[in-house]
Amino acid sequence: AFMLTFLAEGLVNQGSKILYRANATNIIVDSGKAVGVKLSDGRKFYAKTIISNATRWDTFGKLLKAENLPKEEENFQKAYVKAPSFLSIHLGVKAEVLPPDTDCHHFILEDDWANLEKPYGSIFLSIPTVLDSSLAPEGRHILHIFTTSSIEDWEGLSLKDYNAKKELVADGIISRLEKTLFPGLKSSIVFKEVGSPKTHRRYLARDSGTYGPMPRRTPKGLLGMPFNTTAINGLYCVGDSCFPGQGVIAVAFSGVMCAHRVAADLGIERKSPVLDSALLRLLGWLRTLA
């Protein structure tokens, strides 16, 4: 949250304008070129360049009409599937429940590797306050617990049953952490917030709450991932659906690559027309390998 706040402030300080609660529903295309974005309230914004940080499934299928799916995006959707989402648990706990030498990151797999990719089969845990105690009030630690979960497990429930299921599943995961790592964990909890795949879908606008793409079959290497350019002139994509893929570092790298690509195409940065043309053709060919 702190990082997002600083990022937003930096963008505004550099002359950008951020619109909140502005739900984009369509990318406006004119004569084969992306020229703008339409919001759910009817407003339209036009620009020389359109950059989508939605997933490729949302960009090509929702923001753009699915029947006009470019061949390279069709190849991508054949080669990659949506990775499952996560159940996330954010805890505030009393500091004394953690041993003094506790590490920041943990991975728990109690049974065997066969359960690695099964829903709730493995547990990931990060404790950022081990590295920076100022992130929490004195005498407290922050635990971020997450485990794979499919949105299908959470569909068709009443609000009462949905909330009850979140508590039940979260309680089971916390019990496993208490048994394997931190005795007395439950009694030390002073704050708890649970998010399901539906939470990811609602607040992050992620198709099925997905964490991003993963290969449908044996991967052909990272270069089979889409890059920032697309088959639609003026439209760029950025985020975990683009090279180099999932994860914070990969997404940040994708953002840097996209910024340089757009700046070069707009003439803000220097480029070699011959080399640049060859590079774009190469990237287009690599996308056909997906």
Asked whether residue 176 is assigned to any structural domain, the reply reads: yes
Same domain, 225 and 270: yes
DSSP string, 263-283: HHHTTSS---HHHHHHHHHHH
**227: domain range?**
26-79+217-289
Asked whether residue 18 is assigned to any structural domain, the reply reads: no
Residue 29: half-sphere exposure toward Cβ, Cα within 13 Å: 15
Asked whether residue 6 is assigned to any structural domain, the reply reads: no
Same domain, 146 and 199: yes
Average pLDDT, the chain: 88
Instruction: Name the domain boundary from 141, 176, 204.
Output: 204
Instruction: Name the domain boundary from 175, 204, 233.
Output: 204
Nearest to 174 by CA among 147, 139, 211, 210: 147
Nearest to 182 by CA among 118, 135, 123: 123
pLDDT at residue 131, rounded to an integer? 94
Same domain, 225 and 269: yes
Instruction: Name the domain boundary from 153, 175, 204.
Output: 204
Distance CA 141, CA 121 (A): 25
pLDDT at residue 135, rounded to an integer? 92
DSSP 231: S
Residue that has been written with the tokens 């505030």 in this structure: 92
Predicted TM-score (pTM) of this structure:
0.80
Q: What is the CA radius of gyration of the chain?
A: 22
pLDDT at residue 7, rounded to an integer? 82
pLDDT at residue 187, rounded to an integer? 97
pLDDT at residue 264, rounded to an integer? 87
Instruction: Answer for the pair 213, 54: CB distance below 8 angstroms, yes or no.
Output: no
- Residues of the chain scoring pLDDT < 70: 1-3, 66-67, 219-223, 271-277, 279-290
